[in-house]
Amino acid sequence: MEMRVVILFLFFCSSIVVLLIVPTAEAISLGNETDKLALLAFKKGIIKDPSGALNSWNDTIHFCDWEGVSCSSQQPQRVITLNLSNRGLEGSISPSIGNLSFLRHMLLMDNGLYGEIPGDFGRLHSLRVLNLSFNSIHGEIPANLSHCSELITIQLENNNLTGVIPAELGSTPKLKSLALDNNYLNGVIPPSLGNLSSLMEISLLYNSLQGDIPTELGNLSKP
């Protein structure tokens, strides 16, 4: 009788221990819930996924192992790359992507994405490469992309972007490549782009831009 009680007690204790330990271990090994929620919101915005690219984005698989997602190796794991290029995806890009605070590479080119570029992208302070080229994205280029101070590459060519090129883009100091060709951009080329001292490549062809090429751009010394 006593033995049974002890065994039951031990069993009871060990289940408590298990209950106490498991959530803690999960919190560490499963990475940051914020990133998972942001990715799930992105998935919700995709209404066509002909190649089933997002099929693996389910609860049985850790989000760092979802197709097209790569995470940092240190704990808690954070999403650093979202690479879903050329998957035939259609839909809009959820503003919640702005919650992926550690994202460095956003590669969504060669899809059928439409909708606008969310202004929340301005919160991606680690973003280095933004490639949304060859989609059907419309609306304006958000000025606050300039808050992404680590940006090296902005490729938005071959979309349906309208409005002006934001002068603020002249304050992304590390920018090496800016491709905006084949859109419906208008207005003048902002002189501030002459302040992009790292710029090596700029393509603005096939838009409705007006005026001259600002003399400030002549100061871009890189070949």
Ligand X SMILES: *[C@@H]1O[C@H](CO)[C@@H](O)[C@H](O)[C@H]1NC(C)=O
DSSP string, the chain: -HHHHHHHHHHHHHHHHHHHHHHHHHHHHT--HHHHHHHHHHHHHEEE-TT-TTTT-STTS-GGGSTTEEE-SSSSP-EEEEE-TTS--EEE--GGGGG-TT--EEE--SSEEES---GGGGG-TT--EEE--SS--EEPPPGGGGG-TT--EEE--SSEE-SBPPGGGGG-TT--EEE--SS--EEEPPGGGGG-TT--EEE--SSEEESPPPGGGGG----
- Using CB under 6 A as the criterion, what x/- string covers residues 13-52 for binding ligand X? -------------------x-x--xx--x-----------
110 touches ligand X (CB under 6 A): yes
Question: For residues 73 and 215, which CB has a smaller minimum distance to ligand X in the complex?
Answer: 215
Options 89, 93, 106, 133; binder of ligand X; rule CB under 6 A: 133
- Tell me which stretch binds ligand X (CB under 6 A): 6-14, 15-23, 115-123, 198-206: 115-123
Residues 140, 211: Cα–Cα separation, whole Å: 20
Options 144, 186, 208, 210; binder of ligand X; rule CB under 6 A: 144
Question: For residues 91 and 170, which CB has a smaller minimum distance to ligand X in the complex?
Answer: 170
User: Which of positions 173-202 make contact with ligand X (CB under 6 A)?
Assistant: 191-192, 194-195
142 touches ligand X (CB under 6 A): yes
Query: What residues contact residue 110 under an 8 Å CB cut-off, 6+ apart?
Result: 85, 86, 133, 134, 135
- Residue whose pair of structure tokens reads 């439409």 in the numeric block: 114
Options 96, 172, 182, 207; binder of ligand X; rule CB under 6 A: 96
Residues 90, 14: Cα–Cα separation, whole Å: 49
101 touches ligand X (CB under 6 A): yes
Question: For residues 72 and 153, which CB has a smaller minimum distance to ligand X in the complex?
Answer: 153
Question: For residues 34 and 203, which CB has a smaller minimum distance to ligand X in the complex?
Answer: 34
Contact 189, 166 (CB under 8 A): no
Q: How far is the CB of 124 from ligand X (least distance, A)?
A: 9
Question: For residues 192 and 203, which CB has a smaller minimum distance to ligand X in the complex?
Answer: 192
Site residues for ligand X per CB under 6 A: 32, 34, 37-38, 41, 55-56, 58, 60-61, 76, 81, 83, 85, 96, 99, 101, 105, 107, 109-110, 114, 119-120, 122-123, 129, 131, 133-134, 136, 138, 142, 144, 147, 153, 155, 160, 170, 191-192, 194-195, 215-216, 219
